[in-house]
Amino acid sequence: MDSMRYPIGHFTAVENPTEEQRKQLIESIDEIPNKLRQVIDGLDVEQLTTSYRPGGWTLQQVVHHLADAEMNAYIRFKRGLTEEQPLAGTFREDLWAELIDYKDTPIETSILLLEALHNRFKMLLVKMKPTDFARLVASPTHGTMTLDIAIQRFLWHAQHHIAQISSFRDRICDDKRT
């Protein structure tokens, strides 16, 4: 079950990444909306409203959650750039996933939101100085971290959810072959 919930494993930070590693992270963030679009391509309404694992969210909820979580992360990141070690806010993602917009909003809306957000985020990231990445934010759930770590967590989170959807696709394809 843990491999269904965490198909790419748990988050592991790279302490003090190099400039080249940062560039790769930024490019990877830029690719996330397209990867998400590709992994949901061809899924029908029944599949999108199916849980990716027993007791988990539906694929549609995962897509909407990704947009909400990344908007929150972007704001926390900007606060980290403009405030001294701000306490990052959290949100009740479990309750947000039950709100009506997760059910009634087309997933394309959240993908478009992610595209716009990632474009803005990339513009910010490519202009940051190395010292900016050393700024700190405090998270009630993850402790104090640098913006270097925050950006890695941001990317991991998106890759984690895309992998959940991809693993669901792999399972349904295997089911059709047998």
pLDDT over threshold 60, residue 47? yes
CATH of the domain at 59: 1.20.120.450
pLDDT exceeds 60 at position 172: yes
| Residue 102 near residue 63 (C-beta atoms within 8 A) | no
- Tell me whether residue 6 is in a domain: no
Cα–Cα distance measured from residue 130 to residue 133, given in angstroms and rounded to the nearest whole number: 6
Does the CA dihedral 37-42-48-50 come out positive or negative?
A: negative
Average pLDDT, the chain: 94
Q: Which domain holds residue 93?
A: 17-169
**76 within domain boundaries:** yes
Write out the two tokens for 92.
């009740």
Q: Give, as one character, the DSSP assignment of residue 143.
A: E
Pick from 156, 58, 68, 149: which is nearest to 111 by CA? 68
pLDDT tens across 65-88, in order? 999 999 999 999 999 999 999 998
Look at residue 131 and tell me if it is in a domain.
yes
Cα–Cα distance, 161 to 166 (Å, whole number): 9
- pLDDT tens for 89-138 read 889 999 999 999 999 999 999 999 999 999 999 999 999 999 999 999 99
Assigned domain for 63 exists: yes
Distance between start and end Cα atoms, the chain:
22
What is the rounded average pLDDT of the residues 18-23? Answer: 96
Which stretch of DSSP H or E encloses residue 35?
A: helix 19-40
Q: Number of structural domains, the chain?
A: 1
CA 10 to chain centre: 13
Kindly state whether residue 177 falls inside one of the protein's structural domains: no
pLDDT tens digits, one per residue of 50-66 = 999 999 999 999 999 99
Residues of the chain with pLDDT > 70, as a percent, come to 97
pTM for this predicted structure: 0.93
With tokens 């394309």, the residue in question is: 108
- Model confidence band, residue 176 (pLDDT cutoffs 50, 70, 90): low
pLDDT recorded at residue 26: 95
